[in-house]
Structure 1
Amino acid sequence: MAKKFGPALTMIVGALMLTGCASTSRQTIDPSKLAAVSDGNCKAFAAKSRPMDANSGVVPDSLELANLASESAADAEGGADVDSEPTPPPALSQLPPFSASNMASPMPVGWRPWKINRNKTPTRYALTEVDHRLVLHAEADSSASGLYVPLVEREAGALRWMWKTRDVIRTADNGVSHREDSPLRIFVAFDGDRSTLPLRDQLMYEMARITTGREMPYATLMYIWGGRLPPGAVVNNPHTDRVRMIIVDSGTRHTGEWRCHERDLRADYRKAFGADPGKVIAVGLMTDTDNTKTSAESWYGDITIE
């Protein structure tokens, strides 16, 4: 399952460029294509969130965490890249919280690094303590890369997270390929029956498989902090409609403060794709500024999926 998600954007862009299908036209948002708007209230979020400890079943047990920590340290030392992994990493039953990691570790436990493109500068990620909690710090400087966790196939349920950014990317436009950047993104990858897709998409998937030796996710839902469109707007990725973005925060009103979100993955998938979702197979995150050649500084708190 990990192979399906890690290089997803690489394959999408690469395959579409090879077939000449990449688009630079700006999408007009239909008012009917608006997803529910998150509350963003961290007090309400804290009251709903379950305790994150090994006994609750929200995180892997202590032995599994120890093994994952060892793997994460080896990845950081060896400069692991999902494009060169000889075997896929194990799929987990839950997302390891950043708060359960050790600050001495270069990477958060259980999260795997992945690159958009070997020629792109990677975004810097590191654990840090902010407001008395251990979180993930992201710094992008004309760069793009992310972290991901392959998951045991599961039904689409609730996704919860908290994040913060210093500022928006003022020249970004998520509907235009050469300006498509965001200070904060969370991805959810879904499985599905590719034989039901239009011929154009099936050819794109086959081109990706031949070119990279890996399969793309059937569909990817992405939550982002936008700079122009309103919260709730659903935006097609400018390279492929198999990736849909939902803007959950937008503009500068809440920059510099923690924002907390809870999303119904099934409802959001239906709103974005107009169909019921398949099984969730991975979750990832990314802070990127490679298209706009700007910089961004952001923070991710724990992410949970139920």
Structure 2
Amino acid sequence: MSKPRFLIMLAICMLLFSPAPAWSLQHVVIADFSSGVDENGVPFGWQLKEKSGKADFSITSEGGIHALHLRSEDTSYALQKPVNVDLHKYPVLSWKWKVTKLPNGGDFRRSKRDDQAAQLFVAFSNRKVIAYIWDSSAPQGLMEDACALPFVTIKVIVVRSGPSETGKWITETRNAHADYIRLFGQEPPKIGGVRIQINSQHTETSGESFFADVVFRNHENKMGDQVLTMR
């Protein structure tokens, strides 16, 4: 097994089996990036995982939006957070993201070009993972297996593709419960973690993106309902 793939597998397993509290309110805020950072600049409650090269990230504010700003120059790294979310109670996942630079030639379907500026992983307690990505080349809407990793099954959904919408904030809403059933053919167990990732080391190029307001919610409730932020 190659070292990068071993590190990916190890990080996902650590994410899945890290303890985290369970909640039962209408909305569960995974990240609004307003709670400050530790001495290494990592948002409180999150863990930095460097796979290749040095991570380059910061917390920024744009028009009142607190965001995680990710930059990659021939590097690969992620920030991950242990959570405990039941998709039967909170089936809808929403987040904001903005991509300002896509890795040139990136394509998750080719292992030697598997680079993306923006990736949001939802890891389940049974070692199955859904990856919502903004790819440089793969067509929008494609659902396909990721490159094989031992002990972990990753299914990819291409939410956005190409440069046509780069440079602007986009709010995404996915029924993660329905996505899981569609991809794995069964009801989902609880979510064990969320991971935000960027990489450009395969294409030896660069990428840049922003993430904000990652939330699981009950689709029957309105935005004014009670909200819980997970720290």
Give the TM-score range, shorter chain.
0.7 to 0.9
Q: Which has the higher helix share?
A: 1
Aligned residue in 2 for 1:132:
64
Using the size of structure 1 for normalisation, the TM-score is 0.59
Match of 1:251 among 162, 184, 204: 162
Match of 2:144 among 221, 227, 235: 235
> Unpaired runs of 5+ in structure 1?
1-8, 16-81, 193-217
Aligned residue in 1 for 2:6:
11
Q: Deviations over 1:191-241 (max 9, x none)?
A: 23xxxxxxxxxxxxxxxxxxxxxxxxx201000001222221112112248
Contact kept, 8 Å, 1:98 with 1:109, in 2: the verdict is no
Counterparts of 1:90 and 1:275 in 2: how far apart (Å)? 24
Match of 2:101 among 167, 171, 178: 167
Larger Rg: 1
- Is 2:48 the counterpart of 1:113? yes
Contact kept, 8 Å, 1:179 with 1:292, in 2: the verdict is yes
Aligned residue in 2 for 1:143:
75
The one-letter code of the counterpart of 2:20 is A
Tell me the CA shift for residue 165 of structure 1: 0.8
Aligned residue-pair number: 201
Tell me the CA shift for residue 96 of structure 1: 4.3
Contact kept, 8 Å, 1:123 with 1:141, in 2: the verdict is no
- Is 2:20 the counterpart of 1:91? yes
Counterparts of 1:89 and 1:172 in 2: how far apart (Å)? 31
Counterparts of 1:255 and 1:223 in 2: how far apart (Å)? 16
> Unpaired runs of 5+ in structure 2?
23-27, 218-231
- Is 2:222 the counterpart of 1:288? no
Aligned residue in 2 for 1:301:
212
Q: Deviations over 1:115-160 (max 9, x none)?
A: 33xxx21331210112232211101111111111111252351111
The one-letter code of the counterpart of 1:289 is S
Using the size of structure 2 for normalisation, the TM-score is 0.77
Tell me the CA shift for residue 181 of structure 1: 0.8
Contact kept, 8 Å, 1:96 with 1:109, in 2: the verdict is no
Q: Deviations over 1:90-130 (max 9, x none)?
A: 514444433422379722221111233xxx21331210112
Q: CA RMSD in A?
A: 2.7
Q: 1:104 to 1:134 in 2, by over 3 A?
A: farther
Q: Which has the higher strand share?
A: 2
Tell me the CA shift for residue 89 of structure 1: 5.8
Counterparts of 2:160 and 2:212 in 1: how far apart (Å)? 15
Q: Relative contact order (alpha carbons < 8 A, sep ≥ 6): 1 or 2 greater?
A: 2
Contact kept, 8 Å, 2:96 with 2:169, in 1: the verdict is yes
